[in-house]
Structure 1
């Protein structure tokens, strides 16, 4: 992408020279974190019997951060990670790799303007939105942020991994997908904000995918009583050369009984992503998310997790998801959440690996109901620099998933997922 090369390469070179100069002052603040993370997914193909496919990933990581002139008009930030990744899958040779990742490296300019507080960021930076519903990625490009009164606006342009992410592996460059976006927010009070956005994406590798996401949103995250979220979205454009037009809704709330023992929390939510009832007319009516999302948030506990289900972890596409949960504060710094999900397709269609973590062995397409899920989530933060997060998820498939295509084939068995992360700051 020529405009990124022209902007970022000279800027990063100047940044390296400038950061080396200011480091001698010294005006660099260092911090780090040691992370041990493990993830497991069992029975990924929803089989019954001995031929189940299980996956396991273990990744110890050392993360180092450097803030350079943190509060100055011109500042910088660098985040790197050294990790050892070990992946195992049933019947396959374990894959092991050392990684040296450049997660973030940017300069920030805070121009002195009378009309608004502004900030310009150039380089590789992390972008996350509310509930990580649109973005949870590191972008190579330009970010402009402006705040005036109750209003704030973000405008950005760039790519994911325009340069290689892993400095030891040149294949970790991303696909040439340009992303531009404008996100505006209006704060009603300190806890509640309204927002709107437009996100445009264009895949230059084939020029067959051009997407425009438009949406309205509302989020409130008070510590007491009612928290809520609302996403109303539409996507327009072309996908694999065909016209695309889809819609989505995600709404819910968590009520906290803050005066009761253990501060119980009750959550109820509903999410819908449109599906396509006619796959042969050359038009696609399903909703699809940006591809940069993680759908991770919390329902008042100390741990963020996959709010559409830890085991199935679907994209919001051709789905109805009903969610109900209860949470408890077992101690001031210890939370437990139990969350139930019920999954139903909008239109009957094959469940693809692209849209979920699972790849069913046989789908006889007998019902729109996919199944149910249950998640148990734990969060513990005894100190500011120590955290333990863990989640266990279960997916119970409906009768449409079988061990074979015959009428006598047994119904598929459940799938299980679990992950745990321990972080120690220094």
Structure 2
């Protein structure tokens, strides 16, 4: 305990010393705090109790930037995290305190005296448009060519070191390990073929090995766990915006991808806990995500529709021709307001594989920065299968019907003040015919409330 507390003291002293010592013209910083409450109540299985999870956490951190050398900027984000979770199946509360180096990287610009060349080196957020492929903090090397009409990016990413210090309440250190043996190679070319209209081509390689330890929620997933995989994606995207003199705006996007490679699948039955393995050859599976949004007035009233499809195949087949997303895709993005949402549904939160999703959504601005949003989702498997690539539910479909169900989300979020932000999400999922004979109660719920303050 004393040893770990010393680590915290060292981190805080170094951060405070750096902030106090640097000339203001060379550095900048701000402190921030996040307060978050979240809860999830799954569908109730036949003959068993409903899985429920709740969590509260507080983050206190500092964002620090310093000009290290000419055209090289250091960006750091250090924070302490206090969290409490209600353990499933008991009335016990598990609390933990940890420190984390969320971001620590160098950004170089004007490389080789060219205003178009830049590079990132270190731990930072790897995220693509709409987080359909990437969304995680990871150690990377990435180079950019950035011009008005043409952008090119090449990079490699891997978890090299664990940024989180030990939980001082957990002497056995049962926190999650990073996926240190997994890595990613990626390249992208983007061309602006017309004003505000873009096309993009991406190539991605994922070499993935499942971590030895899992987070609290992952311990209860009923889905197949990919122990080892070597997968490649080819992705082509189109997106753009059309503005009218009346203040109306029209936005569209299309992501189209195909995947091929190999993986070894480890499957554990959530009831019997029996484990089996399947070797798969994956080829030809494709996925797409298509969306349209129109803003009806200058005030921003908006409506939109989205269609997503991941080609389907039985999960346990040796030759798998369905689509899979990369493991670090999060499917989170801003829709019409300024809150990042799980755009395939907050409660079910599915991955795009053997599934098609139709969603309709609308947003109403309450003021310049606060939005009220609502969304409806309909889910259907491409091929009836007893496995569902969902991020939350423990229940497996019956494998007899493709009707997974529907979901509803209600979101309120935005800036209450320049330095104060509030976000709240309520979600519900109603299971369809695919859960007949599986669920005693086929309704699931989710909720999240988060307050963010910076100073």
Into which bin does the TM-score normalised by the smaller protein fall?
0.7 to 0.9
Residues 108, 422 of structure 1: CA spacing in aligned structure 2 closer, same or farther, 3 A cutoff? same
SS at 1:331 equivalent: coil
Q: Does residue 1:311 correspond to 2:316, yes or no?
A: no
Residues 403, 165 of structure 1: CA spacing in aligned structure 2 closer, same or farther, 3 A cutoff? farther
* Cα deviation, residue 59, structure 1: 1.0
SS at 1:275 equivalent: coil
Residues 145, 385 of structure 1: CA spacing in aligned structure 2 closer, same or farther, 3 A cutoff? same
Corresponding residue of 2:95: 96
CA distance in 1 between partners of 2:182 and 2:319 (Å): 22
Gaps of 5+ in 2: 1-13, 168-172, 211-225, 265-278
Corresponding residue of 2:434: 400
Alignment of 1:244-323 (within 5 A): 244-245=282-283, 246-259=285-298, 263-277=300-314, 279-280=316-317, 282-323=318-359
* Cα deviation, residue 91, structure 1: 1.6
Residues 35, 109 of structure 1: CA spacing in aligned structure 2 closer, same or farther, 3 A cutoff? same
CA distance in 2 between partners of 1:322 and 1:77 (Å): 39
2:447 to 412, 418, 422: 418
Q: Kindly provide the CA deviation profile for residues 185-231 of structure 1, in whole angstroms up to 9, marking residues without a partner as x.
A: 12245643221101101136899410111101122357842111210
Residues 386, 208 of structure 1: CA spacing in aligned structure 2 closer, same or farther, 3 A cutoff? closer
CA distance in 2 between partners of 1:391 and 1:207 (Å): 33
Q: Kindly provide the CA deviation profile for residues 266-293 of structure 1, in whole angstroms up to 9, marking residues without a partner as x.
A: 111100001115844x211121111111
CA distance in 1 between partners of 2:293 and 2:227 (Å): 42
SS at 1:346 equivalent: coil
SS at 1:131 equivalent: helix
CA distance in 1 between partners of 2:69 and 2:384 (Å): 54
Moved more, 229-238 or 101-110: 101-110
Residues 113, 355 of structure 1: CA spacing in aligned structure 2 closer, same or farther, 3 A cutoff? same
Alignment of 1:145-184 (within 5 A): 145-159=144-158, 161-168=159-166, 172-184=177-189
Corresponding residue of 2:257: 233
2:420 to 370, 380, 386: 386
Corresponding residue of 1:242: 280
Q: Kindly provide the CA deviation profile for residues 316-375 of structure 1, in whole angstroms up to 9, marking residues without a partner as x.
A: 0110100111211122222111100000001111134x5331011x63333101000001
CA distance in 1 between partners of 2:60 and 2:228 (Å): 39
CA distance in 2 between partners of 1:222 and 1:403 (Å): 48
TM-score using structure 2 length:
0.80
Corresponding residue of 2:60: 62
Q: Residues 165 and 172 of structure 1 are in contact (CA less than 8 Å); yes or no, is this contact kept in structure 2?
A: no
Moved more, 114-123 or 98-107: 114-123
TM-score using structure 1 length:
0.86
Runs of 4+ in 1 over 6 A off after TM superposition: 19-22, 204-207
Q: Residues 140 and 158 of structure 1 are in contact (CA less than 8 Å); yes or no, is this contact kept in structure 2?
A: yes
Residues 207, 376 of structure 1: CA spacing in aligned structure 2 closer, same or farther, 3 A cutoff? closer
CA distance in 2 between partners of 1:52 and 1:209 (Å): 32
Residues 210, 30 of structure 1: CA spacing in aligned structure 2 closer, same or farther, 3 A cutoff? same
Q: Does residue 1:194 correspond to 2:195, yes or no?
A: no
Corresponding residue of 1:218: 238
Q: CA RMSD in A?
A: 2.7
CA distance in 2 between partners of 1:71 and 1:328 (Å): 46
Residues 221, 105 of structure 1: CA spacing in aligned structure 2 closer, same or farther, 3 A cutoff? farther
Residues 342, 209 of structure 1: CA spacing in aligned structure 2 closer, same or farther, 3 A cutoff? same
Q: Does residue 1:371 correspond to 2:370, yes or no?
A: no
Corresponding residue of 1:86: 84
* Cα deviation, residue 180, structure 1: 0.8
CA distance in 1 between partners of 2:61 and 2:114 (Å): 38
Q: Kindly provide the CA deviation profile for residues 146-201 of structure 1, in whole angstroms up to 9, marking residues without a partner as x.
A: 11331111211121x32113122675332401111012212245643221101101
SS at 1:400 equivalent: helix
* Cα deviation, residue 25, structure 1: 4.1
Gaps of 5+ in 1: 1-15, 405-409
SS at 1:366 equivalent: coil
SS at 1:77 equivalent: strand
Residues 272, 204 of structure 1: CA spacing in aligned structure 2 closer, same or farther, 3 A cutoff? closer
CA distance in 1 between partners of 2:377 and 2:227 (Å): 37
